[in-house]
Amino acid sequence: MKKTVLLLIYILIFALNAMLSWTYSLFGSLKNKPIQATAETTVPLSGSYACVLNNNTYFYSLPDEKRGIFLLPKTYYVKVLDYQPDYCKIEYLYDDSVLEKITGYARTEQLTFVEYVPKRPYLYYIFDVYYQIGDTQIEDSSFLTQLKVSCVYYGDFYFGGKTYCYVLRGDTFGYIPKPDYVSYEENTEYADYLAQKTPPPSKEPDENTQKSSPVQIAILVALCLLVPVIAALILKQPKRNFYYETEEQTEQIP
């Protein structure tokens, strides 16, 4: 009988140990499994902004792939006027004494829509172009050998293996060969927004110092309480019958 009970104890300990290992592996796998977002994509509202994050986002005069005018400056924004699955109607820059707001289209898949209002959404960039005037036969004509023209930069345009700039001069838009010195500083506002929104990675605890889960602790406590109780029941001596002993002793009295 005792051997049978001991065998049952061993089986119970083995089962609890297996359950403990399974629980540990289950919680570990759940902890390490990435959580996928299930939020539904919302349609951007009119007047919201979208960031340009690649180098080939064209500003189109019409929602047609063949009507690209220039490449929107990377890391800057456009204002969304009307959201459509293929092309969004957008607005770029604003009106002032030297700038002119323009309205057109951009491919929806190439825009990154944001939920905030950027502090500096558009690239405000004015540069000078210098044109050399050819030699003349007129004496003392050096007073006008170079002509400077100020242009508002809107974006680049590639054609025939060359790079041009789409610019505004006065009230006229047009293309000029892009000077080598023309460059602009990227807008870091979207990158800063992502850095603030993303929490720092949590430090993974060492395997030797990793804390046990509540389920693991409960199983260990149950195991510690159950084994001594069963062992005590096995090792306990059977209780002798008081009346039988008394009667037997009485019979032995002379």
Residues 168 and 101 sit within 8 Å (Cβ to Cβ): no
Antiparallel, parallel or unpaired: β 87-92 and 77-82 = antiparallel
Whole-angstrom Cα distance, residue 114 to residue 78? Answer: 11
pLDDT of amino acid 140 = 58
Kindly report, residue by residue over 148-172, the tens digit of the pLDDT. 999 999 999 999 999 999 999 999 9
Assign 117 to helix, strand or coil. Answer: coil
Q: Most distant CA pair in the chain: distance in Å?
A: 164
Given its phi and psi angles, is residue 217 left (phi above 0), alpha (psi -120 to 50 degrees) or beta?
A: alpha
DSSP letters, 201-220, are PPPPPPTTTPPPPHHHHHHH
In a domain, 231, yes or no: no
- Tokens 């080598």 appear where? 180
Residues 109 and 143 sit within 8 Å (Cβ to Cβ): no
pLDDT of amino acid 147 = 86
pLDDT of amino acid 59 = 99
In a domain, 81, yes or no: yes
In a domain, 3, yes or no: no
Q: Which residues pair with 70 in a beta bridge?
A: 59
In a domain, 132, yes or no: yes
Distance of CA 46 to the CA centre of its chain: 24
Question: Which CA distances in Å does 47 have to 8, 29, 117, 192?
Answer: 73, 44, 10, 22
> What is the domain extent for residue 106?
49-197
Whole-angstrom Cα distance, residue 114 to residue 180? Answer: 33
In a domain, 186, yes or no: yes
pLDDT of amino acid 233 = 63
Kindly report, residue by residue over 125-147, the tens digit of the pLDDT. 999 998 887 665 656 556 667 88
pLDDT of amino acid 83 = 97
Side chain identity at residue 152, one-letter code: V
pLDDT of amino acid 37 = 34
In a domain, 218, yes or no: no
Antiparallel, parallel or unpaired: β 162-169 and 172-177 = antiparallel
Residues 123 and 184 sit within 8 Å (Cβ to Cβ): yes
pLDDT of amino acid 32 = 45
In a domain, 165, yes or no: yes
pLDDT of amino acid 251 = 46
Token pair for 62: 């019409």
Q: How many domains are there within the chain?
A: 1
pLDDT of amino acid 33 = 42
Cα within 13 Å of Cα(136), Cβ side? 11
In a domain, 82, yes or no: yes
Whole-angstrom Cα distance, residue 219 to residue 26? Answer: 15
Whole-angstrom Cα distance, residue 99 to residue 125? Answer: 10
**DSSP H or E stretch at residue 13:** helix 2-32
Q: Encode the chain (254 residues) as per-residue pLDDT tens digits.
A: 555 655 556 666 666 666 656 555 555 544 444 433 333 457 888 999 999 999 999 999 999 999 999 999 999 999 999 999 999 999 999 999 999 999 999 999 999 999 999 999 999 999 999 888 766 565 655 666 788 999 999 999 999 999 999 999 999 999 999 999 999 999 999 999 999 987 766 666 555 545 555 666 677 666 666 666 666 666 565 555 544 444 444 444 44
